[in-house]
Amino acid sequence: MAGFMDSINKGFATINVKTSNLMESTKLKTAISGRENDIASIMKTIGETVYINRTNFSMDMVSALIGEIEQKYREIEDFRGQLAQLEANEKNILGNSGGQGTEAKIFCMQCGAPNRIGGRFCEKCGTKLAE
Ligand SMILES: [Zn+2]
């Protein structure tokens, strides 16, 4: 009976992890594309500033804008790191007990068990795996 409850709890944990990871990764992806849009619009402003001041342009006129872009790229890098962390966590929680959380897996169509890529048959139930 304990095994049954364990598998139910694990099922819920899996769903919770998937749902909260999905929300979190959607949030991060939205934040990344927001920064990318910001960068594109700052780039445009820099271009306009260069053009408008083409007869007396100096880098000082755009150094603050360049600083903003650098800041936004740092933020994007940070968000990407958080995304990678989320994916690694998800893989660990969803049952790669071998501690090889970053290794790619192929999932059995029959029982859902994660298998090594390249394996021909499911390690758990023996079903032939997709190529
Ligand atoms: Zn299987």
Q: Output the CA 4–ligand 1 centroid distance in Å.
A: 18
Task: Find where tokens 């029959």 sit.
Answer: 110
| pLDDT classification of 45: cutoffs 50, 70, 90 | very high
- Compute the distance from residue 113 Cα to the ligand 1 centre, in Å: 5
Q: Give the pLDDT of residue 103.
A: 65
Kindly list the protein residues that place their beta carbon closer than 5 angstroms to ligand 1, a single-atom ion.
108, 110-111, 113, 122, 124-125, 127
Average pLDDT over residues 45-72: 97
Percentage with pLDDT > 70 across the chain:
81
CA of 115 to the centre of ligand 1 (A): 8
Two structure tokens written together for 128: 């032939």
Residue 98, pLDDT > 60, answer no
Is the pLDDT at 39 greater than 90, yes or no? yes
107 CA to centre of ligand 1 in angstroms? 8
Distances (CA, A) of 24 to 30, 34, 85, 90, 121: 10, 15, 11, 12, 34
Name the pTM for this structure.
0.59
Helix or strand (DSSP H, E) at 60: none
CATH code: domain 2-94 is: 1.10.287
